[in-house]
Amino acid sequence: MTVTTRPLSAAPSMLGGSIELPTYPCVHGTARRVAPWTGEPGTVGTVAVVGAGKMGLPLCAQFAGHGWRVVAVDVQESVVDAINAGVSHVEGEPGLAEAVARAHEEGSLSATLDAAAAAREADVVVLIVPVMLDDEQQPDYRYMDAAVGSIAPGLHAGSTVIFETTLPVGDTRHRFAPRIEHATGLAPEHDVFVAFSPERLYSGHALANLAQYPKLVGGLGDESGRRVAAFYASVLDAPVVAMTSAEAAEFSKLADTTYRDVNIALANEFARYADRVGVDIQEVISAANSQPYSHIHQPGIGVGGHCIPVYPHFLLSRAPEMELVGLSRRVNDGQIGIAIKALQKELGSLEGVEVLVLGLTYRDGVKELAYSRALPLIERLAFHGAVVSAHDPLMTPREIERCAARPWAWGAPSTARAIVTQTADPAFASLDWAWFPELRVVYDGRNSLRAAAIPASVAYHGVGVPAALRTPGR
C-alpha cells in the first residue's frame, strides 16, 4: 500500500453532478498477527472501533477483511447483538452484509457494550461517533466526550487512538489528547499515540469509497503519524496520505465539505439570476463546466445530511470572520423561502391549502433525516397555514407523521393544490397526474421532474429552470 506525503493529482471534474472513480486493487499479502502491534510492515493486531453505525460498521468489515481482529463497540445492545450474530444492522450498503457475515464466521469480528474492555484488548482504537451541532450552531461534543471517557480506563502504554469523526481544527490536540492524558496518566506521543484521520465515505457507497478515496492521516507528532499511516496502509487499498499534523488533516475535511456548501450556494445564486433572465441554469452549468477549471455544482431546495450543512459551522465556531462561509450557509438555508414564495405567487395565501411534499429524507435512497430540508419546509408551510401531506418511499406512515405531515399513500386520490419535490427519488417521475385533480403548481426542488408530462394547467417551477425551457417527455 502506498503512503505518500506528496500532494495528489487533482480529481476529475464532477461536471455539476456525481463521478465514478477508479477502484484501487488490493495488493496486501497475508499479514502476521502480533501483540503488541507497533506498526511494523506486514503485521496486524487488534483494533477497537467505537461507534458501529452506518460508517463505523463498514470500517469494522474493512479492517477484519484485511486480517485485523476487530472489536466493535456500541451503546445500543441491539447493534451489538446483531454484529455478534454476524448480521449487519446497516441497510443500503452494497457488500456490507456479506462482509460482516464473513468476518463473523472467520472469528475476526465481535462486538461489545464495554468500551474499556475493548480498548484494553486493542492496539488501535478508532472513534467514529457523532459530533453534530447544538441549538446555538456550535459543535455538540456530548457523544464524543462520552466515547473518550468510556475508552480511557482501558487505554494502556502503546495504545494508538484515532479520531475519524470530523472535528473542528485543533480538537484532536487541544481537547481530546489532554482528556486522554488526564484520565490515564499516559503522555501523548510518548506512552499513547493520538491522531486524526477523517472519514470520507458516502452513504450507499462506503465499502467502494474505502478502495477509491485517498486516506488522509495526521498525528500529534512523528510517531503518532507513523503508526496511524502504518495502520491504514495495512487495511486500505487506496493510498494513504501522511499529512504534517492532525490540524492539517482536520482542516482538509472541513475545507472539502465547506467548499461544496459554498459551491452549491453559488449555484443557487446563479439559479436565482437564471430565473430573472429566463435561461436554463442546468444548460448554463453544463456549458460552463465544459471548461476544465469550472466545477459548478447543482442548485436545489437546500442542503441536508450529516456533513455539508454541519461542518462549515465547525469553521465558523473558531473563525466567525469567514464571511463567505457564513453567507453560503444562509443562501442555502434560504432556498426554502424561495420555494414558499413561488407557491404564494401561484396560489396567493396558503391558508388551508393542501401541499404535498415528496421526499423527506435528506437525499433519495438514504433513510436518514439528518438536517433534511423537508423538516423546515414542512414547518414553514404550516406556519403559513398550509395543510401538509408527504410521501417518501423509504418511510412508513408513522415515520411521516413524526415529521409533522399527513401521510399520502402512493396512488391515492389527493386534493393537493401544490406539490414540492424535496428529493429526486426516481419514483416521482412515474407520478400519475390524474391523482391530483386540483393541482395548480409543482415546485421541483431538485429539477428532477423537468421531463415529466405535467398537465398544461399546472404551473411548473424549477430551481433556475423556467417552465418555458423545460423539456417534457425527454
Question: Residues 297-347: pLDDT tens digits?
Answer: 999 999 999 999 999 999 999 999 999 999 999 999 999 999 999 999 999
How confident is residue 467, by pLDDT bands cut at 50, 70 and 90?
confident
pLDDT 10s digits, 405-415: 999 999 999 99
Q: Taking the model in full, what pTM does it have? A: 0.92
> SS in 3 state form for the chain?
CCEECCCCCCCCCCCCCCCCCCCCCCCCCCCEECCCCCCCCCEECEEEEECCCCCHHHHHHHHHCCCCEEEEECCCHHHHHHHHCCCCCCCCCCCHHHHHHHHHHHCCEEEECCHHHHHHHCCEEEECCCCEECCCCCEECHHHHHHHHHHHHHCCCCCEEEECCCCCCCHHHHHHHHHHHHHHCCCECCCEEEEECCCCCCCCCHHHHHCCCCEEEEECCHHHHHHHHHHHHHHCCCCEEECCCHHHHHHHHHHHHHHHHHHHHHHHHHHHHHHHHCCCHHHHHHHHCCCCCCCCCCCCCCCCCCCCCCHHHHHHHHCCCCHHHHHHHHHHHCHHHHHHHHHHHHHCCCCCCEEEEECCCCECCECCCCCCCHHHHHHHHHHCCCEEEEECCCCCHHHHHCCCCEECCCCCCCCCCEEEECCCCHHHHHCCHHHCCCCCEEEECCCCCCCCCCCCCCEEEECCCCHHHCCCCC
Query: What domains can you pick out in the chain, each with its CATH number?
Result: 28-244 (3.40.50.720), 245-474 (3.40.50.720)
Sign of the Cα torsion 23, 28, 33, 35 reads: negative
Please report how the helices 323-333 and 246-277 are oriented relative to each other, as an axis angle in degrees rounded to 10: 50
Which amino acid type is present at position 117?
A
| Average of per-residue pLDDT across 352-366 | 96
Long-range contacts of 139-142, Cβ-Cβ distance < 8 Å, separation of 24 or more: 139/167, 139/168, 139/171, 139/313, 139/314, 139/317, 141/175
Residue length of the chain: 474
How confident is residue 22, by pLDDT bands cut at 50, 70 and 90?
confident
Measure the CA–CA gap between 426 and 420, rounded to whole angstroms: 15
Which amino acid type is present at position 171?
D
| Average of per-residue pLDDT across 430-439 | 97
Predicted confidence (pLDDT) at residue 11 exceeds the cutoff of 80: no
pLDDT 10s digits, 146-195: 999 999 999 999 999 999 999 999 999 999 999 999 999 999 999 999 99
Measure the CA–CA gap between 368 and 114, rounded to whole angstroms: 27
Q: Nearest-CA neighbor of 357 among 287, 442, 286, 274?
A: 442
